[in-house]
Amino acid sequence: MKKEEEVEAAKALGQAAPGQRLQLPTADAKGSMPLEQAIARRRSRRYFKAEPLSLEEIGQLLWSAQGVTSEEGLRAAPSAGAMYPLETYLACAEGLFQYLPQEHSVVKKSAEDPRPPLAKAALGQDFIAQAAVSVIFTAVYQRTTGRYGERGRRYVHMDAGYAAENVHLQAEALGLGSVSVGAFDDAAVARVLGLSRDEEPLLIIPAGRLDKA
């Protein structure tokens, strides 16, 4: 990825004010890596360079997670009953952003770098602070349990697994590394993200350019 594209991405994200929406580049639905190759190459990576990602790369990661892929509003990852209980956040040096699937855009929630407090909330897993971005999934369980009852909680966790695997495969296709992090203090992560009481953190996926294989 060209260095000027990384600089432009950091500039755009940094200049956005809290509450401002930023349109992401149109997602590439064709790609350049066969699915089978991405599956074969996928590994958990924890060593990242301190280099930002381009808006195109950020957009691809978020689109793979929860992007809209049909005129009916269906998304890239399956969801029980199409209830879509997941919310998707992006943590980077320029602040905290929330993904808006219907618009393929992000809205800035905070201008402060959330990665160091996220790493602390994740029991000191410092690579979270080193990765260019973290894609974070949270759940509003009521969207699914309202239809399926208590068993809907299981469906929500399935949804998160589907979306996470999409992110990992997309990262590989982009030449990036990624890893799933489930070990964290729920309350601490909720505070970092500013979550409401009906929204709970599920998974953190740091991603970025690899420092070591």
Percentage with pLDDT > 90 across the chain: 92
- Cα(166)–Cα(31) distance, rounded to whole angstroms? 13
**What's the pLDDT at 9?**
83
Confidence class for position 2, pLDDT limits 50, 70, 90: low
- All domains of the chain, ordered by start, with CATH? 3-15+26-208 (3.40.109.10)
Average pLDDT over residues 90-107: 98
| Residue 191 CB partners (closer than 8 Å, separation 6+) | 121
pLDDT reading at 150 higher than 90: yes
**What's the pLDDT at 41?**
96
**What's the pLDDT at 10?**
77
More confident residue, 187 or 5: 187
State pLDDT tens for residues 19-39: 999 999 999 999 889 999 999
Of residues 106, 128, 132, the one with CA closest to residue 117? 128
State pLDDT tens for residues 175-201: 999 999 999 999 999 999 999 999 999
Of residues 75, 97, 78, 80, the one with CA closest to residue 88? 97
Confidence class for position 213, pLDDT limits 50, 70, 90: low
